[in-house]
């Protein structure tokens, strides 16, 4: 769909990762938290999977079954990523000096 996208070396490729955990262990079964992490994929494999390059976007607290409502929380992040995709952001490239 976008053949020129991967040819540009400065293009940022992102991955979105979600995971659920219970902060109170097995006793807190009625309460859980969802973490939403954004990962840049166009780094070296050892770098993009290290915690220094994983960006915690949000933590969604709530009842144990948040799967049905997670899209409500991700709506703002989705809008911002779509804005980056369609409009872009002006940046200064220090490597071009």
Tens-place pLDDT, residues 38-62: 998 888 878 888 889 899 988 888 7
- The residue whose two tokens read 């220090």 is 94
Look at residue 37 in the predicted model and tell me its pLDDT: 92
Residue 34: how many other CB atoms lie within 10 Å: 19
Half-sphere exposure of 18 (CA within 13 A, CB side): 15
Bridge partners (DSSP) listed for residue 31 = 63
Q: What's the average model confidence in pLDDT over 2-9?
A: 72
Look at residue 96 in the predicted model and tell me its pLDDT: 58
Choice between 83 and 45, residue whose per-residue pLDDT is larger:
83
Checking if the pLDDT of 16 tops 80, the result is yes
pTM exceeding 0.75: no
């Amino acid at each position: 769909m976008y053949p020129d996208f991967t040819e540009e070396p400065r293009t940022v490729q992102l991955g979105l990762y979600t995971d659920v955990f219970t902060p109170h262990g097995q006793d807190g079964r009625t309460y859980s938290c969802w973490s939403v992490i954004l990962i840049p994929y166009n780094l070296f494999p050892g770098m993009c999977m290290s915690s220094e390059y994983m960006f915690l976007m949000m933590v969604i607290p709530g009842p144990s079954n948040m799967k049905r409502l997670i899209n409500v929380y991700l709506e703002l992040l989705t809008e911002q990523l779509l804005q980056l995709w369609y409009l872009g952001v002006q940046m200064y490239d220090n490597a071009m000096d």
